[in-house]
Amino acid sequence: MKRIFCSLFAFVVLCVGSLASASYTNILRVGLAYSSTAVSVANLINSSGFSIGVMNDTTFTGSQSTSETTLKITYANNTYLVQGLSGQTIYSVSGENIAVRPISGTTTYDGYNYYGDFVFKAESSGKLTVINYVNIEDYVKGVLPYEMSASWPIEALKAQAVCARSFALGNLNKHKAYGFDLCNTTNCQVYHGTERADSNSNDAVDQTKGQILMADGKLATGYFFSSSGGATENNENVWGGTPISYLRGVKDIYEDASASSYNVWSVTLTADQITSKLKSAGYSIGTVADVKVTKRTEMDNVNEVTVTDTSGKSVTIKNGSVRTVFGLNSIRYTINGSSILTGSSGSGGLWVNDSQITDSGLYAIGAGGNKAYIGSVSGKTALTGSGKQTISISSSNDSGNVNVASGSYVFSGTGWGHSVGMSQYGARSMANMGFSYSDILKFYYTGITISQM
Ligand SMILES: [Zn+2]
């Protein structure tokens, strides 16, 4: 009933057009233990004591208060049991989700301190799902320092805080099957209560209290990543699917990629390693003979890589797979290198198919280790014409086996991460240059507004 009212209220406000604010819940349900991490016993510690009762939607109703500072919650025979430190029964209830609210302050659970309430739900295994019902501002204070170093400039932290808040609201009910919104791992956002919060990160949350990203009248999800290396990218060029208005690639004129050593990178892969990575990703390909960037985006990021094998067959890797399939840091790179051509030895020399001849530096190796270069390399054998052709390997060993030798490819790039949305290193650079968090968000998210939730 409450949700219907909120939705209706938001609708009326938008129709009247007098306010730009939307209406969202202030309370998030964050899963701290569930499924494989569900617990048999949950211990809560709070020096002020607790109220114990039930939670309906996000409304807590207390049935009993206790000054006991340590509670032990278990479930057996369809009954939730709350015991004190010495094992005495404080409360028990059947068939309902049990909720515990501290009288004040933070509560210690599993070594971390949390604001808010705790709800326990028995799973079919008999173990307990543990859920922290927490105000969204306290939640954002918890996650912010796990996403960006709290030592970074305040305007960058404020931009990240608005992203984190928007992300949370955009993922309500993500873990509905277990009765909560967000989990506490990188699957959603890392959250261990107040563990890493400090005055700098808390200030960033307080100074942006309730602020979220909006685009086209709707909540915008604040996707972010570490470093653009020069340009961010359109969402559809990375994840496929429909273009999203605020996730447009931008030339990143602010980020200083060299600010972090890992933002400039180089990876060398042998032809065999590339073959293996492609096969692991489900592509059907033989021994790799050539690897090339065959399409770039308007932002000059890599959009397609074509890999050709020694039989002339090729596969084209597209979108974000150009990073993930090869295990690279970003989609912004060049490829240099060559494979050593392999062919079949035949009468009079080594046979290769001319479709394999894609680079002037390619060469074959005979069993004696002698190289026969193909193409226009000075002083080496040149091939012309079409179809299968013969080259001679100038050794006595050319009629034997041909080594299937691997070449190698050097992927040299800048940036780190998926490239969609805000670059965190870019946000840091902009903040250091004097830009505000609003400037930062509007630079990385095309056409967004910052609204009060
Ligand atoms: Zn999750």
**Could you give the CA distance from residue 320 to residue 235 in angstroms, rounded to a whole number?**
9
For residue 18, report the phi and psi dihedrals to the nearest 5 degrees.
-85, -20
Angle subtended by helix axes 136-147 and 199-206, to nearest 10: 130
Instruction: Kindly give the distance from the C-alpha atom of residue 31 to the centroid of ligand 1, in angstroms, as a whole number.
Output: 8
Q: CA-CA-CA-CA torsion for 302, 308, 309, 312, nearest 10 degrees?
A: 170
State the number of CA atoms in the 13 A half-sphere of 84 facing the CB. 11
Instruction: Kindly give the distance from the C-alpha atom of residue 181 to the centroid of ligand 1, in angstroms, as a whole number.
Output: 8
* Domain-wise residue ranges, the chain: 39-122, 138-223+421-452
Task: Read off the pLDDT band of 397 (50, 70, 90).
Answer: very low
The answer to whether 134 and 116 have CB atoms below 8 angstroms apart is yes
**Could you give the CA distance from residue 74 to residue 39 in angstroms, rounded to a whole number?**
9
Of the candidates 283, 361, 263, the residue with the CA atom closest to the CA atom of residue 324: 283
What pLDDT sits at residue 97?
82
Residues 6+ apart with CB under 8 A from 367: 397, 398, 400, 401, 402, 403
In DSSP terms, which residues pair with 65 in a beta bridge? 51
What the block records as the tokens of 154 is 């305040």
- What does the pLDDT average to over 135-159? 97
The mean pLDDT of the chain is 84
What pLDDT sits at residue 256?
83
| pLDDT single digits (tens) 174-219 | 999 999 999 999 999 999 999 999 999 999 999 999 999 999 999 9
What pLDDT sits at residue 340?
54
What pLDDT sits at residue 287?
73
What pLDDT sits at residue 141?
98
Instruction: Kindly give the distance from the C-alpha atom of residue 190 to the centroid of ligand 1, in angstroms, as a whole number.
Output: 9
Instruction: Kindly give the distance from the C-alpha atom of residue 177 to the centroid of ligand 1, in angstroms, as a whole number.
Output: 12
Instruction: Kindly give the distance from the C-alpha atom of residue 182 to the centroid of ligand 1, in angstroms, as a whole number.
Output: 5
Rounded percentage of the chain residues whose pLDDT exceeds 70: 79
Q: How far apart are the first and last CA of the chain?
A: 20
What pLDDT sits at residue 259?
72
What's the whole-model pTM score?
0.80
| pLDDT single digits (tens) 14-67 | 333 333 445 788 999 999 999 999 999 999 999 999 999 999 999 999 999 999
- What does the pLDDT average to over 127-139? 98
What pLDDT sits at residue 376?
34
Of the candidates 96, 118, 111, the residue with the CA atom closest to the CA atom of residue 51: 118
For residue 52, report the phi and psi dihedrals to the nearest 5 degrees.
-120, 135
DSSP 230: T
Angle subtended by helix axes 437-444 and 154-170, to nearest 10: 50
Instruction: Kindly give the distance from the C-alpha atom of residue 122 to the centroid of ligand 1, in angstroms, as a whole number.
Output: 19
Instruction: Kindly give the distance from the C-alpha atom of residue 103 to the centroid of ligand 1, in angstroms, as a whole number.
Output: 29
Instruction: Kindly give the distance from the C-alpha atom of residue 184 to the centroid of ligand 1, in angstroms, as a whole number.
Output: 7
**Could you give the CA distance from residue 374 to residue 268 in angstroms, rounded to a whole number?**
23
Instruction: Kindly give the distance from the C-alpha atom of residue 353 to the centroid of ligand 1, in angstroms, as a whole number.
Output: 51
Say how many C-beta atoms besides its own lie within 10 A of residue 131's C-beta: 27
What pLDDT sits at residue 406?
44
Instruction: Kindly give the distance from the C-alpha atom of residue 27 to the centroid of ligand 1, in angstroms, as a whole number.
Output: 17
Instruction: Kindly give the distance from the C-alpha atom of residue 145 to the centroid of ligand 1, in angstroms, as a whole number.
Output: 18
What the block records as the tokens of 398 is 């050319």
| pLDDT single digits (tens) 79-119 | 999 999 999 999 999 977 899 999 999 999 999 999 999 99
